[in-house]
Structure 1
């Protein structure tokens, strides 16, 4: 599922045009899963975020801290394993396609991370740019710090996924050699981390699970792509039943909490770091994905359905990045003005008011999408990358080294931003050193991308028609 399109090389001007250009071999089910997974995460975050207003200040609480009975619902809303499964499928397809076109691992990484980091960079720059004048105008630094912290919550997932993408060429090579043995070994290592942390109380014993668990799920996506994990009932049902069985056993009779998302203040978490309980949920979700694949594929052949899926996927990362910013904006508008009541959490009135709360957040997010969605959409209009002309050995090593440095700086900075305390009150509301490291890394990667996309020094936003060159307009959102 590399997303490469054959035929007309002109960028599609409409959503329908993009949908009609979908290659016959594309796995549409994976695209739907990506969209559904992110939208479920967004909805879950919106439902779980309980903002309170008292004595001129905004505060908040996580609904899982207050309502224990909703912990079971996390088995539905915790769908990040599905996203990593689909990511593995898509990255395997893209890596395979790149090999056929003669594109090396370095240029593949530049292209793949560019799609992730462009919208992320815009998000961080806007966030920092809004915090500084707000503080200069006299806004409470503590309030700004908490608002920025709430808005950047989605970055923890993105940092992990970028790390997995950076490791994808190596992990794909291991997959081609060892197949399903790779995720099995990774799963065992996740279990070892749990034993060290929970059984022997080793400090940071399970920290490696922050990468190992998600790599294991990503490897399952590789296996799904090449048929080692086929969409057949004899494979899907054991995964589904076995995963659910282990999950129930581990949470009911074992030491793991029921909630599959982080509960503030809880001694044991299933996500930070990930546990074998979360891995069991991932196995069950993988089984369900394989079980429903054929029926879903037939449904996705309908033009209107597929067009809607394409539309959501065109800006799905932007939706994810900005959805908690919508919470910040909505809280700042609804609560200080007294427009929105604040009934006790868990009451009938509170439950009913979740619906207009979701509706208002959707409106705010739609406005944010109109402002920033084009950044992601523009990146998706770029044609598939082909092999770059060979360079002399010294230049080639320099480009590779700079790419590695850029990726390391960007990823390190992103992790630093993610881990910053909610009470951190730098001028931007973000850790300055981490932000500068990220921006520096992104700048290096941008320079490397310019070298790859325009190796002859020509502008790449020109197209040739009838022997004449014309400048393309800046792409707009398809709707």
Structure 2
């Protein structure tokens, strides 16, 4: 409260001051601004990382698209810094725990809560799919030889929607474990099971789907749920509160990473597009969980000083504004990259280098600026769907049967769309997977309500 009073003079700063004052006035005093900052910072790092790793060069004058970690493997170490999706699941564990506790206190049950949280993901995602899939099909029919990057690349962020929806749907169960004091045993069990599956996957045991052995598929739940469970511990102040304990989390994660990578786990924390190289993210491995421990320790170490900074309206305002459109930014950033890149190559706006050299790096700010301008336009047009996703104006009578069926259909639809991107299959199949996604969204009440099932 003193900080707010002390900063009332921001209204004297013109339109920027008025905007800052409006944002400050609309922010509830009890809101944990640090959680918003973490989510926004993580998403912006993901967006920037995806844009920079897309390599556009023209050896012998012929434009071609490549992937930075494939053409310059020495940069794979940077994924240890730039892989920040664990932060999203960690913060999600905090927010979902707080939200479910509030819902229980208000007399709500698990099914309506899960369905409401699902709608916040699905409505913005549906808007993306209803644009990208038809464009993908039209491009395949009319301009397949003209595109340097296919529209299907824009669907890469969908993996997060499916994974986060599944983890969120399990929150009533994972939080029940937490309330009973079983969070740490559950995390240990999940990580041990994931480690065993890692060993089988790295030994190339069993059938391959896409580019990786199918045996690793359960890790999409095991690892992300384990990180989400760390968020439950944070929500109840059960993470280390003192600097030594917090530094201990960092040290444990660093040692774990060193041991695992030394034992044969991949160095890269993200998939290396265009290759069949193993990685620690698709599917997740215990090395990714070790990285999550490092990030968790650093986050709690920085918590108090960052909260003091975020109490300042000038710092909080951009975080709040970006946070209100965070999902839209994430879902549409690859669309901006695909559209801009193809236009730049067609129209010759940037002189392309032959290789990844100093001139290529010098051009990256121009590419990022161009992507940012188009992304801002997309956010202005479709950002409203993010608001629609949080609406609770209509009653929802869906039961567990239809809810779980919806989650499964969403997972199948997303998996199929992503599979098309790595299996070199006809884009026409995307219509079938789109139907699965839309059916799952319908089951979860994104476009209407259902009777109990």
Q: TM-score range by the shorter chain?
A: 0.7 to 0.9
- Structure 2 counterpart of 1:126: 131
What is residue 332 of structure 2 aligned with on the other side? 322
Work out which of the residue numbers 163, 167, 171 in structure 2 matches 1:168: 171
Cα distance change, pair 367–105 in 1 and its aligned pair in 2 (3 A): same
Q: Which residue of 2 aligns with 1:51?
A: 56
The residue that corresponds to 1:159 in the other structure is 162
Secondary structure of the residue aligned to 2:56 is strand
Q: Which residue of 1 aligns with 2:314?
A: 304
Structure 1: which 5+ runs fail to align? Answer: 1-12, 390-395, 453-479
Question: Gaps spanning 5+ residues in structure 2: where?
Answer: 1-17, 208-213
CA deviations on 1:262-319 (whole Å, 9 max, x unpaired) are 1242533211222222111111001001111011111111122222111111011110
In structure 2, the CA distance between the partners of 1:440 and 1:451, relative to structure 1 (3 Å rule), is closer
- Deviation, 1:56, is 11
Going from structure 1 to structure 2, the CA distance change for 1:419 and 1:176 (only over 3 Å counts) comes to farther
Q: How does 1:150-229 map to 2 (within 5 A)?
A: 150-177=153-180, 178-198=182-202, 201=205, 203=207, 204-229=214-239
Q: Judging changes above 3 Å, is the alpha-carbon distance between structure 1 residues 291 and 69 closer, same or farther for their aligned structure 2 residues?
A: same
CA change 1:448–1:104 in 2 (3 A) is farther
Task: Summarize the Cα distance change of 1:410–1:209 in structure 2 as closer, same or farther, 3 Å threshold.
Answer: closer
Taking the TM superposition and a 5 Å limit, the aligned residue runs for 1:258-273 are 258-264=267-273, 265-273=275-283
Closer, same or farther: CA 333–54 of 1 in aligned 2, 3 Å? farther
List aligned pairs for 1:8-27, cutoff 5 A: 17=22, 19-27=24-32
Q: Distance in 2 between matches of 1:442 and 1:344?
A: 45
User: Any residues of structure 2 matched to 1:422-461 within 5 Å, and which?
Assistant: 422=422, 423-427=424-428, 431-446=430-445
Determine which structure has the larger helix proportion and give its number: 2
Show the counterpart of 2:368: 358
Contact 2:197 / 2:215 at 8 angstroms: preserved in 1?
yes
Query: How do residues 60-71 of structure 1 correspond to structure 2 at under 5 angstroms?
Result: 60-71=65-76
Query: 110-119 vs 185-194, which deviates more?
Result: 185-194
Q: Is the 8 A contact 1:53 1:336 kept in 2?
A: no
SS of match in other structure, 1:446: coil
| Range moving further from structure 2, 361-370 or 114-123 | 361-370
Measured after TM superposition, the shift of residue 145 of structure 1 is: 11
Structure 1 residues 310 and 89, CA gap change in structure 2 (3 angstroms)? same
Q: Is the 8 A contact 2:194 2:223 kept in 1?
A: yes
Give runs of aligned pairs for residues 31-46 of structure 1, distance below 5 A. Answer: 31-46=36-51
Give the equivalent residue in structure 2 for 1:463. Answer: none
Contact 2:420–2:426, Cα closer than 8 Å, also in 1: no
What displacement does 1:409 show? 2.1
2:78 to 50, 73, 77: 73
Q: Is the 8 A contact 1:53 1:335 kept in 2?
A: no
Moved more, 215-224 or 195-204: 195-204
Q: Deviation digits for residues 227-268 of structure 1, max 9, x if unmatched? A: 1114431321100111112212322x2202222111242533
User: Cα 1:340–1:200, aligned 2, differ >3 Å: closer, same or farther?
Assistant: closer
- In the alignment, structure 1 residue 349 sits paired with structure 2 residue 356: no
Q: Do structure 1's residue 419 and structure 2's residue 419 form an aligned pair?
A: yes
Match in the other structure for 2:348: 338
TM-score, normalised to structure 2's length? 0.86
Deviations 1:311-330 (A, max 9, x none): 11101111011111111111
Q: Residues 179 and 228 of structure 1 are in contact (CA less than 8 Å); yes or no, is this contact kept in structure 2?
A: no
| Partner Cα distance (2:60, 2:340) in 1 | 18
| Distance in 2 separating the partners of 1:115 and 1:447 | 9
State the alpha-carbon separation in 2 of the partners of residues 447 and 73 from structure 1.
38
Following the alignment from structure 1 to structure 2, what is the Cα–Cα distance between the partners of residues 271 and 224? 23
